[in-house]
Amino acid sequence: MNNHLIILEMANNHMGDLSHAKKIIKKYSSITKRYKNLNFALKFQLRDQESFIDKSFKDSNDKQIVRFKSTFLSLKKWRELVNFSNNHFDLACTGFDEPSVTKIFNNNKFKYVKIASCSANDWPLIEHIYKCYKKKPKQIFCSLAGLSNDEIDTVYSYFKNRNVKINFFYCVGIYPTKNSDLNLSYFKFLQKKYGRNIKGFSTHEMPDEKFSSSVAIGLGVKVFEKHIGLKNKSKNYNLNDYSVNPEEFEKWLKNINNAINVYGSEIGRNKNIKKEKDKLKTFQRGVYIKKILSAEKEINSKDVYYAFPLQNNQLSANEFSKHNIYKTKKKLLEGLPLLKKDLSIKNNYSKVKIIRDKIRNFLKNKKITIPVKPRLEISHHYGIEKFYKFGITMITVINKIYCKKLIILLPNQKHPAQYHRKKQESFFILYGRVNLKINKKNYNLEPGQLKTIKPGEVHEFSSRTGAIIEELSTTSMVNDSFYKDKSIQKNKARKSFITL
């Protein structure tokens, strides 16, 4: 993206009134036309009327539920609004549930898809977004408010490992945001860590704040998201504390070069994590029980559904991850919220992170050059619990008509016997000592030594000291590894991936 993009976030400020929405679009379109050096897009929010709010809360007086219900548009009006808007702006939309996400991806008028901060680690929704993306790719933006450094790592790794075209937004989940809570320097921290994937700044400041954008420009922000709307006294339509009116919006654009007390720090940003998490919980979905569950039952996605709101002590959709194993402590009834106190939770992904950290420490000071932000492939042939006895980690540098990989063995680790039908590979030892067995013949290799393994040759290898092997080979193919132990071949979950 060569020029700066300004996303005008309408959210629910159309008030469910089509004529009012059109007035907003016309007014802001007339303003943006005067700024030829900037690109603009208009963004909506979409929630499925039938499934987003749990049926037991349809008559609730909760202010968020009342707000959502009062601003729902009929399908006919929604289509008319989208068609009208497309004549004035490029379009973006945030979907907060699976049916809405499907509608957005299937509508050619939407150029951008946005993931809200409250959904950034809503894994059922994230995985549905990826399924839609595979069928019909669009540019995806994702806000990161309220996420810890480890949570941001996980979200980034998920999309990077799937080659999804995505840009992330720095965002503060406090509405409205005071200047002292902006901590815009955290954007630079994120950009240094994740590179050009960190593009945007989603703002929630007071409407008269004009200077933070200039600081953001200096930090490298290319995309801004600003909440916009129009007041209407006769219909009692007012704006919330972080949405600008047309006059404030134009002042904000004009004062992009000003800066006052907005730089902040990483420490300042992190102190607000708990506040942001508490606030974002009011927007998150909870996990509800779809059918009666017996005691000691392992729960999967078919046993539950996700709906708004998230109740006290309820497991959130954000927490319902395929990397966790959930078991009931007692019999649970259909339609009730799935409470944490009724579950035993075992986290497997934490073991992947521990392995990554051990590999980082092992590579430290070894003077081995590795790619920037590489994907670490973890092979745990007999399960992750036995990884430190049987397993390896690999970094693929290139894999085309020729292939280069770095194979890392931790001390006392062993790779079981296997062979390739097509691939020919050579092991060049960069660090440590390796015992390589080819067709039952032993070779003790040290740094600087090279050994070639031909197609069909059964080989296994291990290291007492730990080792780093440079593997040079013909093309590496997924289905070209055959293990002597057939149980390994049957284990479809023998690999995990994470950014190193």
Distance of alpha carbon 361 from alpha carbon 63, whole angstroms: 49
The strand ranges marked E within 275-382 are 286-289, 298-299, 304-307, 324-328, 343-347, 375-379
| Residues 357, 337 within the same domain | no
Across the range 342-348, mean pLDDT stands at 86
**225-260: buried (b, 16+ CB within 10 Å) or exposed (e) per residue?**
bbbbbbeeeeeeeebeebbbebebbbebbeebeebe
Q: What angle do CA 114, 75, 69 make, to 5 degrees?
A: 75
Is residue 140's pLDDT more than 70?
yes
| Residues 309, 186 within the same domain | no
Is residue 454's pLDDT more than 60?
yes
**416-436 pLDDT per residue, tens:** 999 999 999 999 999 999 999
Across the range 390-403, mean pLDDT stands at 96
Is residue 197's pLDDT more than 90?
yes
Is residue 208's pLDDT more than 50?
yes
Which of 346, 375, 391 is where one domain is finished? 346
Distance of alpha carbon 117 from alpha carbon 147, whole angstroms: 8
Q: Which residues pair with 483 in a beta bridge?
A: 418
Which range is most confident: 131-145, 269-283, 361-375?
Answer: 131-145
- Phi/psi for 381 (5° steps) reads -60, -35
Please report the pLDDT score of residue 220 as a whole number: 86
Distance of alpha carbon 455 from alpha carbon 439, whole angstroms: 12
Is residue 237's pLDDT more than 50?
yes
Distance of alpha carbon 66 from alpha carbon 208, whole angstroms: 28
CA–CA distances in Å: residue 263 to residues 147, 197, 204: 20, 21, 15
Please report the pLDDT score of residue 256 as a whole number: 67
Picking from 314, 266, 282, 69, the residue whose alpha carbon sits closest to that of residue 174 is 282
| Residues 182, 326 within the same domain | no
Across the range 194-207, mean pLDDT stands at 94
Distance of alpha carbon 94 from alpha carbon 48, whole angstroms: 12
Please report the pLDDT score of residue 351 as a whole number: 86
Distance of alpha carbon 468 from alpha carbon 202, whole angstroms: 43
- Whether the CB-CB separation of 481 and 453 falls below 8 Å is answered with no
Number of folded domains in the chain?
Answer: 3
Higher pLDDT among residues 498 and 130, named by residue: 130
Across the range 79-94, mean pLDDT stands at 97
| Residues 276, 368 within the same domain | no
Average pLDDT, the chain: 93
**151-191 pLDDT per residue, tens:** 999 999 999 999 998 999 999 999 999 999 999 999 999 99
| Residues 167, 53 within the same domain | yes
Which of 320, 346, 372 is where one domain is finished? 346
Q: Are strands 413-419 and 482-483 parallel, antiparallel or unpaired?
A: antiparallel
| Residues 101, 46 within the same domain | yes
Local confidence band at 262 (pLDDT 50, 70, 90 cut-offs) = low
Picking from 128, 161, 155, 124, the residue whose alpha carbon sits closest to that of residue 142 is 155
Report the helix count and the strand count for the chain, using DSSP H and E. Answer: 13, 25
Give Cβ neighbours of residue 207 (< 8 Å, ≥ 6 apart). Answer: 239, 241, 242, 243, 244, 245, 248
List the CATH number of the domain containing 358.
2.60.120.10
Please report the pLDDT score of residue 260 as a whole number: 30
List the CATH number of the domain containing 339.
3.90.1210.10
Is residue 211's pLDDT more than 90?
no
Is residue 259's pLDDT more than 60?
no
| Residues 334, 431 within the same domain | no
| Residues 337, 196 within the same domain | no
Is residue 267's pLDDT more than 90?
no
Quote the domain boundaries for residue 393: 350-499
| Residues 483, 358 within the same domain | yes
**441-453 pLDDT per residue, tens:** 999 999 999 999 9
List the CATH number of the domain containing 249.
3.20.20.70
Burial class, 302, CB count within 10 angstroms (exposed 0-12 / middle 13-18 / buried 19+): exposed
Is residue 261's pLDDT more than 50?
no
**127-147: buried (b, 16+ CB within 10 Å) or exposed (e) per residue?**
ebbeebbeeeebbbbbbbbbb
Local confidence band at 258 (pLDDT 50, 70, 90 cut-offs) = very low
Is residue 31's pLDDT more than 50?
yes
Higher pLDDT among residues 269 and 89, named by residue: 89
Which of 251, 280, 309 is where one domain is finished? 280
| Residues 293, 272 within the same domain | no
Across the range 123-147, mean pLDDT stands at 97
| Residues 318, 387 within the same domain | no
Please report the pLDDT score of residue 3 as a whole number: 81
| Residues 427, 297 within the same domain | no
